[in-house]
């Protein structure tokens, strides 16, 4: 031992190369060792649930910053870092995720996207809610701006998952969960959506309640579009039930004699009161237009298009609002189709025959009152009459073979006169028309069948 002390006094010269070796070791090993420790620390924290984790290594010391979701989680993470082999000191900069009071979660839907904001308790729940939103809002962009906060009410995720389903039913609006109270506002995407939302909210977890539900139903829309080029009348939107559906299609076929009816109507609840009556009247007004469209949204009727002549335009504007049921509003944007070129008497005759070949002027049964469904046809006849202003027109009434001959004669004359009156009212000079009745004496078809009788009940136009 004495020798060791003696020799040790001579060991100092080796300290110089040792110092060089030390410098080299420090130079080459510092950064790799820090990287090694950082990787080991990240691996050690793999099972810990943390937010905003930041690990800074200086030498063997680790500065550990993170937001933990509970005190136990924070302590466990700290222990994990302290247990990493090779770590000398841990500077603890961890903290708990802030607590939210009240605990608010919001989903805002507009036309193109859904924005989630507010708080969620854990990363796993945040991810699950985001996935659920993407799945429920198929194709709509989901922007997740939620942050983390402690203090979520029990069964928060179940409640929010249910609310996400309701967001999918909205066209636009906002759904807010504040602690355990739910508020909704906006417009449902489809008819019946509002009711479906109400029904779903009954399944909220226990303790949750609906503070406000201001979801409005979407407007109840019915549309009709008359396209003279394609010769079609397209019906789209909603009808209350199959009965009204059939009645409206039938009315359209009666009123639009020259157009093929394309029907894409869907049955849905939520129709305003007087829907069928209002739409039937509005279709009558549309039938008088050369081209036009009709939109019925809730209780507002908008009719736009071109009338065949000035008189018709005025009549449509005035009568539309009057004919609608109480509480309905009408908006008529009617212009007048440019007048067609004048033609001579023979062309007029051909045009009359063509139009009367497509449709028939209808009267109330056994009377000379013109059925409202014939307004469109009469406007077409008036328009033709306007194109040959010099020609005189004889309007001849005919009836079928049923009933007394004298009565049929009187009825045929009265019906011819009613048609002439209509045309005069439309703005044509009365002296151009001469009316007569032939009763049932000039049948064009067999009076033994209903079909034949219908053909025989007719008005002929004769241009002179």
Give contact residues for another protein (rule: CB under 8 A): 3-4, 6-15, 17-18, 21-22, 24-26, 29-30, 33, 36, 58-61, 85-86, 88-89
Q: Which is nearer to another protein, 86 or 429 (CB)?
A: 86
User: What single DSSP character describes residue 178?
Assistant: E
Sort strands 458-463 and 289-297 into parallel, antiparallel or unpaired. unpaired
CB-nearer residue toward another protein: 34 or 306: 34
* Beta carbon of residue 53, minimum distance to another protein (angstroms, whole number): 20
**Calpha distance 130→175 (Å, rounded):** 15
Rounded Cα–Cα distance for residues 461 and 435 (Å): 9
Minimum CB distance to another protein, residue 65 (Å): 16
Nearest to 173 by CA among 215, 234, 204: 215
Using alpha carbons, select from 458, 430, 432 the residue that is nearest to residue 443.
458
CB of 207 to another protein, least distance (A): 51
Least gap, CB of 84 to another protein (angstroms): 9
**Residue among 7 and 206 whose Cβ is closer to another protein:** 7
Q: Tokens 């090694």 map to which residue? A: 36
Reduced to 3 states, what is the DSSP secondary structure of residue 291? Answer: strand
Shortest distance, position 68 Cβ to another protein, whole Å: 24
- How far is it, in rounded angstroms, from Cα 353 to Cα 371? 20
Residue 89 or 127: the one with the smaller Cβ distance to another protein is 89
55 or 414: CB nearest another protein:
55
Q: Which is nearer to another protein, 15 or 211 (CB)?
A: 15
Alpha carbons within 13 A on the beta-carbon side of 137: 30
Considering the complex, state which of residue 18 and residue 96 has its C-beta at the smaller distance from another protein. 18
* Nearer CB in complex with another protein: 56/335: 56
Contacts of 70 (CB under 8 A, 6+ apart): 96, 150
Give dist(CA 186, CA 108) in Å, integer: 10
State the nearest-atom distance from the C-beta of 23 to another protein, in Å: 9
26 or 444: CB nearest another protein: 26
DSSP 378-425: HHHHHHHHHH-TT--EEEEEE--S-S-HHHHHHHHHHHHHHHHHHHHH
C-alpha distances in angstroms, 332 versus 134, 379, 443? 43, 18, 42
Residue 34 C-beta: closest distance to another protein, Å: 8
Q: What is the largest CA-CA distance in the chain?
A: 159
The C-alpha atoms of residue 285 and residue 379 are separated, in whole angstroms, by: 11
What is d(CA 366, CA 345) in angstroms, rounded to the nearest whole number?
33
The CB-of-46 to another protein minimum distance in angstroms stands at 19
The CB-of-75 to another protein minimum distance in angstroms stands at 21
């Amino acid at each position: 031992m004495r020798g060791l002390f003696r020799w040790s006094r001579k060991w100092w010269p080796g300290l110089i190369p040792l110092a060089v070796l030390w410098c080299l070791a420090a130079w080459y090993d510092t950064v790799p060792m820090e990287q090694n420790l950082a990787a080991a620390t990240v691996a050690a924290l793999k099972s810990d649930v943390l937010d905003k984790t930041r690990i800074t290594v200086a030498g063997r010391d680790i500065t550990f910053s993170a937001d933990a979701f509970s005190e136990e989680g924070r302590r466990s993470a700290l222990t994990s870092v302290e247990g990493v082999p090779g770590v000398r000191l841990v500077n603890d900069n961890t903290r708990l995720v802030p607590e939210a009071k009240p605990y608010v979660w919001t989903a805002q839907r507009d036309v193109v996207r859904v924005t989630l904001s507010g708080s969620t308790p854990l990363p796993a729940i945040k991810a699950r809610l985001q996935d659920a939103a993407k799945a429920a809002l198929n194709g709509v962009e989901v922007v997740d701006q939620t942050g983390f906060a402690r203090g979520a009410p029990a069964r928060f995720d179940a409640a929010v998952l249910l609310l996400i389903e309701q967001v999918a039913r909205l066209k636009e609006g906002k759904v807010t969960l504040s602690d355990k109270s739910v508020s909704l506002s906006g417009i449902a995407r489809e008819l019946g959506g509002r009711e479906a939302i109400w029904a779903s909210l009954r399944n909220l977890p226990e303790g949750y309640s609906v503070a406000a539900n201001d979801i409005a139903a979407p407007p109840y829309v019915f549309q009709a579009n008359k396209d003279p080029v394609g010769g079609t009348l397209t019906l789209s939107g909603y009808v209350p039930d199959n009965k009204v559906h059939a009645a409206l299609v039938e009315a359209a076929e009666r009123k639009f004699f020259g157009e093929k009816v394309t029907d894409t109507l869907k049955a849905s609840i939520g129709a305003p009161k007087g829907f069928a009556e209002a739409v039937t009247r509005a279709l009558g007004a549309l039938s008088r237009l050369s081209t036009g469209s009709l939109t019925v949204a809730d209780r507002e009727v908008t009719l736009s298009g071109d009338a065949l002549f000035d008189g018709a335009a005025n009549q449509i504007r005035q009568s539309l609002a009057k004919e609608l049921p109480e509480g309905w509003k009408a908006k008529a944007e009617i212009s007048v189709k440019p007048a067609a070129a004048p033609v001579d008497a023979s062309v007029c005759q051909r045009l009359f025959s063509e139009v009367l070949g497509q449709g028939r002027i209808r009267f109330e049964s056994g009377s000379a009152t013109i059925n409202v469904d014939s307004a469109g046809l009469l406007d077409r006849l008036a328009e033709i009459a306007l194109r040959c202003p010099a020609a005189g027109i004889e309007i001849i009434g005919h009836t079928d073979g049923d009933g007394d001959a004298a009565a049929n004669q009187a009825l045929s004359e009265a019906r011819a006169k009613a048609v002439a009156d209509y045309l005069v009212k439309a703005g044509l000079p009365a002296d151009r028309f001469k009316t007569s009745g032939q009763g049932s004496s000039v049948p064009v078809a067999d009076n033994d069948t209903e079909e034949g009788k219908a053909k025989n009940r007719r008005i002929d136009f004769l241009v002179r």
